[in-house]
Amino acid sequence: EISLRIGDLQECNNEQIHLSGAVQGHGALMMFSADERIQAISKNVAAVLDLGQRNILGAKLSHVLPEEFVQNILALQKQHPWRSKGMYLTTPIGKSKFDVYMFSSGNYFGLEFEPLRESAEFFESQNVLQDFMAEVKEARTVVDLTSVACRYIRQVAGIDRVMMYRFLPPSWHGEVIAEDRVMGSHSFLYHRFPSSDIPKPARDLYLRNKVRLITDSQGHISAIEPKENPETGKVWDLSDSRLRSVSPIHIEYLKNMGVAGSMSFAVIVKGSLWGLIACHSSKPFTMTNAHRAICCAIADVVSSQATLMEDLEGHLLRSSFDARLRKIIEMTLISKDILGGLLKQHALLMETFNATGVAICNAQTQDISGLVPAGSLLKDLYAKIIDEMKKTEKEVFAINSLTTIMPDIASKLKMACGVLAVRIHDKEDSLLMIFRPEQVRMITWGGDPVKSLEKKNFSGQINPRASFESWQEKIENQSIPWSSHELDGVSFMKEVLFDSALVKKGAIDMLTE
Ligand code: BLA
């Protein structure tokens, strides 16, 4: 859909972000085995937990951590089936209290410790979920729903900006569809961002680990030692970790955006990543696990409600399309001459397919209605499409920009940028062609997407773009694309009207079932 050439994605897709070998330095990590022995640590563990000088690698957990806490986590492990799910706990160690997150990595377990800022705010935010649910009930559209979610997450997190970033498959570019931000800050609402900003490995990880918190993009990191999982001999898999250190490219990206703390929650619809609730803080930022859990719950509500709303929107759209299509078929079947009868339905055809022109052509004749290319152009287009259909052995042809098949004349055909054609067998090589006019659109990108990925000449190092200033792209010579139900609809119509195996009555019965 997008006319711009956008970076070499492969370069971004190669980074194995789950094997970063380090954690964010404000917290610390311990990996332990089933025999409760500590098998790996982040180098800062003694400093963060105030453990003094002793070497804890190989030690039993209960020699390092409070006995009661160790009993607790061992009991939890037995109670809960471990897959990739993590678990929250808190524990006092020495003078401080810690938020602890437990996850698994192969046959080992990871404990991540983050200093806990005691906060009374948590109790205030207890009501947040109730209030949020009350507002969600009133939301009628996906934009309403996600705007409410952004507002509540910003309230819980107390940060500068929260956005609903929605992916646009199959390109996987994305768009900010809702936003809540502190007054006076830059807005990214309705801005589009290229897929290379969040490469496939990062997107895939969100299906497994739905939260990502980057406390300080410019903060230090702490390496894990030993580097490898002793059982596999491979670098520790941190897919389910919450403290995993951040990809250097993304660190630079955040710096260029003026973001210190970043947090994102996955919104998953029908098993596929639908969007991210993305949060920005201009200062380093952290949040208790309890607050994170509230934000996760809000994101989960968005996931389930967005599924329902999209199903409903899709259903309504489809049922009104189907009703019109049925009427076209019924009206056409009344007439003895199916071809002529179909063309008589030109107004309804245009309304149903959101089009402005219809033609039924073969090599000799052209029956037209509405805005269609003039005689010889239509003839050329007809020949091109028949050719294309023969090559691809397909009966339906759809395009939303003629530039791809007729580059020389496409700019003259503004009234017929999009064509949906179906081969009808009544006469040899007859085509029903439905035309849509050009729809000029402006897309606002968050920075020039062509610069989304720059390579330094000498080192070959990849860099994200430096500027996120709004950048306008004008999309010309394109119509609104044909939807999958329109493609299905047109081939269904062809089958019913023109495939000899279907007798008229049978077809009508099928439709009215
Ligand atoms: C990760 N990129 C991300 C994440 C977001 C974005 C939300 C998830 C981590 C986080 O929450 O910060 C992108 N952030 C955005 C976008 C907006 C936003 C689009 O706020 C819009 C408002 N990044 C690049 C290039 C590469 C790249 C060129 O620009 C690769 C070559 C990589 N982005 C990249 C990687 C990650 C990432 C590797 C994962 C970081 C990690 O989890 O370690």
Per-residue pLDDT tens over the stretch 121-145: 555 666 889 999 999 999 999 999 9
| Ligand 1 contact, 6 CB (< 6 A) | no
Report pLDDT for 318. 93
d(Cα 58, Cα 56) in Å, to the nearest integer?
6
CATH architecture of 335-438+479-512: 2-Layer Sandwich (3.30)
d(Cα 149, Cα 455) in Å, to the nearest integer?
37
Nearest to 479 by CA among 395, 318, 357: 357
Give the Å distance between the CA of 481 and the centre of ligand 1.
Answer: 29
Nearest ligand 1 atom to alpha carbon 264: 11
Helix, strand, or coil (residue 473): strand
| Ligand 1 contact, 433 CB (< 6 A) | no
d(Cα 86, Cα 208) in Å, to the nearest integer?
11
Nearest ligand 1 atom to alpha carbon 263: 11
pLDDT at 98 over 60: yes
Give the Å distance between the CA of 373 and the centre of ligand 1.
Answer: 45
Give the Å distance between the CA of 221 and the centre of ligand 1.
Answer: 18
Give the Å distance between the CA of 273 and the centre of ligand 1.
Answer: 15
The fraction of the chain above a pLDDT of 70, given in percent, is 90
Nearest ligand 1 atom to alpha carbon 246: 43
Report pLDDT for 498. 83
The pLDDT confidence band at residue 53, using thresholds 50, 70 and 90, is: confident
Half-sphere exposure of 489 (CA within 13 A, CB side): 23
Alpha-carbon separation of residue 17 from 114, 199, 237 (angstroms): 21, 10, 9
Tokens of 296: 């996760």
Give the Å distance between the CA of 33 and the centre of ligand 1.
Answer: 33
The pLDDT confidence band at residue 427, using thresholds 50, 70 and 90, is: low
Task: Select from 185, 195, 198 the residue to mutate for testing ligand 1; criterion: most ligand atoms less than 8 Å from CB.
Answer: 198
End-to-end CA distance of the chain: 37
The pLDDT confidence band at residue 411, using thresholds 50, 70 and 90, is: confident
d(Cα 310, Cα 141) in Å, to the nearest integer?
9
Query: Out of 13-22, 34-43, 391-400, 455-464, which region has the weakest mean confidence (pLDDT)?
Result: 455-464
Give the closest residue (by CA) to ligand 1 atom 3.
198
Give the Å distance between the CA of 217 and the centre of ligand 1.
Answer: 12
Average per-residue pLDDT in the chain? 88
Peptide bond into 248 cis (omega under 30): no
pLDDT at 66 over 70: yes
Give the Å distance between the CA of 246 and the centre of ligand 1.
Answer: 10
Tokens of 30: 């311990």
d(Cα 487, Cα 394) in Å, to the nearest integer?
12
Q: Would you kindly state where each structural domain of the chain is located, as residue ranges?
A: 9-311, 335-438+479-512
Give the closest residue (by CA) to ligand 1 atom 5.
198
Give the closest residue (by CA) to ligand 1 atom 43.
246
Query: Tell me, what DSSP letter sits at residue 235?
Result: B
| Ligand 1 contact, 264 CB (< 6 A) | yes
Same fold for the pair 9-311 and 335-438+479-512: yes
Q: With contact defined as beta carbons under 8 Å apart, do 360 and 353 qualify?
A: no
Report pLDDT for 391. 92
Mean pLDDT, range 28-34, rounded to an integer = 95
Q: Give me the phi and psi of 180, to 5 degrees please.
A: -135, 125
* Domain 9-311 -> CATH class: alpha beta
